[in-house]
Amino acid sequence: MDLKCLCKKEYKKIDKTDIDHLKNIIEPGRILINEEISEDFSHDELNTVRGYPEVLIEPLSADEISKILKYAYEKDIPVVARGSGTGLVGSCVPLNGGIMLSMLRMNKILELDEENLTLTVEPGVLLMEIAKFVEDHDFFYPPDPGEISATIGGNISTNAGGMRAVKYGVTRDYVMGLEIVLPNGTILNPGGKVVKDSSGYSIIDLVCGSEGTLAIITKAILKLLPLPKKTISLLVPYPDLNTAIGSVPKIIRSKKIPTAIEFMQREVILAAEEYLGKKFPDSSADAYLLLTFDGGSKEEIEKDYDAVAKICISDGAYDVFISDTDERKDMVWSARKALLEALKASTSEIDECDVVVPRNKVAEFINYTDSLQKENDIRIRSFGHAGDGNLHVYVLRDKLDEKTWKDKLALIFKKMYSRAEELGGLVSGEHGIGYAKKEFLSSHYGLEYIELMMGIKAAFDPKNILNPGKVCQF
């Protein structure tokens, strides 16, 4: 498919007049030019694509952003929004220079509405700040991606999922309203503090997951739930990964829905132990499931997990370990949350595939990645959300030279994505498409689908100034 001609354009390079104009909108200290910009802003967490903005701005309000966008729109200057830079597909990397909006200073929690069960926040609030704030008030914001230092704006932009998706769904399910700035500077407020919404096309759902290509999010109204009083995790050791993952459809069929079902393999746990300098409570088995249950009381949860524990044991689990206190949960989950960092520390470079497959196909897909590992003589490690079918498969470079690495990686990724497609899966479960996965998206969905996406992009952004070259643009 040749889509290369569709979105290419030359953007205006920023000159002194532009800088002077921007400095009229933004006070000194919140605007940095060229060499003043730290290297951090040229890449995201995975660091596979790089590009510097010409100007870095830290806006404080929708009004400022509106003025900046209006100017950029008029002058044909590209604009990229950036949160904490914890993305894994290059979404926040400016490919064409231009202006970068760092949203970190728009970090206020604006309102907790206990009557409507909503929390209104600015986009730069960190996920961990939201979690702490709402829990202190006995509320619960369920989306829980492992990266707690990500911003809520970034989470909405990628429709982040996380570990509690099995029971509670993903970020999109918790966004009730937004304030957005369109590329021409118009400020809109789709949605609101309403539970139902059949009022025309859902702009919220379009913006959610659009990775900064349609509009800049300047405010979000999030849905909250009452905080479950108690959570208990189960760590279940299995002789091998196949047996472990084989239990998952049975657990789901039991209707005792855990909030999370994660799987981990021994080698990854050992890497996490080394990385954290802390022992995992058990590392004798080859594979583990990590399940979490929540509920109103210990007794209620015990009743649920009892049924699941029996399923696991009859399936061949060695035992079921109970993690029921803060210390124990911390022991288990600190390792789970450090797995990616630990893998990164164990090799020279990694690349990842974040496919999502139907839940009953997880074992088949993981077996396939295992066979790719042997076939290509390369380390492939995986862990992830067995309960929602979202897999994080990491290919590790180790000592491979640049060419061998690139060649092997291209081949393995091609095979993995086409296998996922055969199984009824999709390209990305929660990390997004950004720059890194757009080829896979287009080969998955085909020209007509991508053209529809481009049409949506053009409706929001006719001059294509917002985060160009991402998602559906080539």
Q: By the criterion CB under 8 A, which residues form the site for another protein? A: 230, 234-235, 278-282, 298, 309, 313, 319-328, 331-332
- Give min distance, CB of 342 to another protein, in A: 17
For another protein, the closer of residues 19 and 37 by Cβ is: 37
Cα–Cα distance, 407 to 62 (Å, whole number): 45
For another protein, the closer of residues 273 and 349 by Cβ is: 273
- Give min distance, CB of 91 to another protein, in A: 29
- Give min distance, CB of 404 to another protein, in A: 34
- Give min distance, CB of 337 to another protein, in A: 17
- Give min distance, CB of 234 to another protein, in A: 8
For another protein, the closer of residues 2 and 327 by Cβ is: 327
User: In three state form, how does the secondary structure of the chain look?
Assistant: CCCCCCCCCCCCCCCHHHHHHHHHHCCCCCEEEHHHCCHHHHCCCCCCCCCCCCEEECCCCHHHHHHHHHHHHHHCCCEEEECCCCCCCCCCCCCCCCEEEEHHHCCCEEEEECCCCEEEECCCCEHHHHHHHHHHCCEECCCECCCCCCEHHHHHHHCCCECCHHHHCCHHHHEEEEEEECCCCCEECCECCCCCCCCCCCHHHHHCCCCCCCCEEEEEEEECEECCCEEEEEEEEECCHHHHHHHHHHHHHCCCCCCEEEEEEHHHHHHHHHHHCCCCCCCCCCEEEEEEEEECCHHHHHHHHHHHHHHHHHCCCCCCEEECCHHHHHHHHHHHHCHHHHHHHCCCCEEEECCECCHHHHHHHHHHHHHHHHHHCCEEEEEEECCCCEEEEEEECCCCCHHHHHHHHHHHHHHHHHHHHHCCCECCCCCCCCCCCHHHHHHHHCHHHHHHHHHHHHHHCCCCCECCCCCCCC
- Give min distance, CB of 318 to another protein, in A: 8
For another protein, the closer of residues 281 and 358 by Cβ is: 281
- Give min distance, CB of 407 to another protein, in A: 37
For another protein, the closer of residues 20 and 326 by Cβ is: 326
For another protein, the closer of residues 141 and 321 by Cβ is: 321
For another protein, the closer of residues 338 and 391 by Cβ is: 338
For another protein, the closer of residues 172 and 230 by Cβ is: 230
For another protein, the closer of residues 193 and 230 by Cβ is: 230
- Give min distance, CB of 315 to another protein, in A: 13
- Give min distance, CB of 194 to another protein, in A: 34
